[in-house]
């Protein structure tokens, strides 16, 4: 009985080692027919196929045909390659808010959305200047129309566009996923047949590592497909520069000894007149209070002094 368990443990470890070596040996042919159903149980579905042109290479058996069908189901029928499109535009506009509203409408018109934005306000005196950036995502198959509409939203100071073919990356990801799924299925069978703790732990650890690699590749594939489906246009918006309002330069006054005599006499007379007027205005304000309050007080003071002498 002990010899049987030892042989079974050795067999399990040998199979695990062979699977590890198979995972490192590249992306060779593997039976994808049985794996397609297993992967569907993980909620990926056929619609999550590769967005890349079929590689057309032979020797992959059913796996190659499955990847090709998935690729065709994902790609736009008018496009033969999976291409990531990007654009950058710098605009000079009279009104930042007006241009922003126009660009948001452009994104919606081409089945897209605004992915990000930032704004900066500069102040000079009582005037302001607004600059900012908008990141638009639009359908890739309408990138050219959207790019032209963005440039029409203001005075173009600079514009550029670029494209990047990611078909080979997506095909590579699909091949790696197929290989990893086959490893996972084999490990699951070994895990179910293992009957000692050490084997279960080793196979379980390897199974967890393979599943983690699968999830990372799926996330990368989703990101690439999103970039292929939606092009990115980065728009920088600038209002005109601000010119400070000129201030009047004060006229320099002459030195005291350089003052004209006639001007000095006129200034003195004017000062006397101003002083007299100020006194008269003061009396006009104080007079009524003096009559109302001053006369009774003076009378009481006079009566008090007479009584002292009596």
Closest C-alpha to 190, from 177, 176, 202 = 202
60, two tokens: 């992959």
278-304 burial: b if 16+ Cβ within 10 Å, else e: eeeeeeeeeeeeeeeeeeeeeeeeeee
In tens, the pLDDT along 247-273 reads 556 666 666 666 677 777 777 888 888
In tens, the pLDDT along 84-101 reads 999 999 999 999 999 999
> How many whole angstroms separate alpha carbon 306 and alpha carbon 310?
6
- Would you state the pLDDT for residue 287? 80
Could you count the other beta carbons within 10 Å of the beta carbon of residue 180? 22
Where is average pLDDT lowest: 185-199, 225-239, 294-308? Answer: 294-308
pLDDT above 90 (res 112): yes
- Would you state the pLDDT for residue 310? 65
In tens, the pLDDT along 212-222 reads 999 999 999 99
With a pLDDT cut of 90, the percent of the chain lying above it is 41
Find the mean pLDDT for residues 55-64. Answer: 34
State if pTM tops 0.85: no
Sheet holding 113-124, edge to edge: 113-124, 127-139, 230-238, 83-92, 155-165
């Amino acid at each position: 009985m002990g010899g049987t368990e030892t042989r079974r443990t050795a067999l399990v470890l040998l199979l695990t080692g062979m699977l590890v070596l198979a995972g490192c040996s590249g992306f060779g042919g593997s039976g994808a027919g049985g794996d397609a159903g297993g992967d569907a149980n993980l909620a990926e579905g056929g619609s999550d196929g590769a967005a890349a042109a079929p590689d057309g290479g032979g020797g992959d058996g059913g796996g190659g045909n499955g990847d090709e069908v998935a690729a065709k189901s994902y790609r736009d029928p008018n496009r033969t390659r999976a291409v990531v499109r990007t654009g950058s535009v710098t605009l000079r506009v009279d009104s930042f808010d007006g241009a922003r509203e126009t660009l948001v409408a452009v994104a919606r018109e081409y089945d897209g959305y605004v992915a990000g934005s930032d704004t900066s306000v500069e102040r000079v005196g009582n005037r302001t200047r607004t600059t900012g950036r908008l990141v638009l995502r639009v359908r890739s198959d309408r990138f050219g129309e959207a790019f032209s509409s963005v440039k029409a939203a203001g005075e173009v100071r600079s514009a550029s566009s670029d494209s990047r073919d990611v078909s080979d990356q997506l095909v590579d990801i699909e091949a790696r996923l197929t290989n990893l799924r086959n490893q996972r299925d084999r490990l699951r069978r070994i895990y179910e047949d293992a009957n000692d703790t050490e084997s279960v732990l080793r196979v379980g650890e390897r199974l967890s590592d393979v599943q983690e690699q699968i999830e990372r590749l799926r996330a990368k594939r989703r990101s690439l497909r999103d970039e292929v489906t939606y092009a990115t246009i980065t728009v920088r918006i600038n209002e005109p520069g601000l010119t400070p309002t000129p201030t009047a330069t004060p006229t320099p006054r002459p030195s005291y000894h350089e003052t004209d005599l006639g001007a000095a006499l006129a200034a003195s007379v004017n000062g006397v007149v101003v002083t007299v007027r100020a006194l008269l205005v003061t009396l006009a304000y104080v007079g009524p209070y003096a009559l109302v309050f001053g006369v009774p007080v003076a009378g009481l003071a006079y009566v008090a002094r007479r009584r002292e002498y009596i």
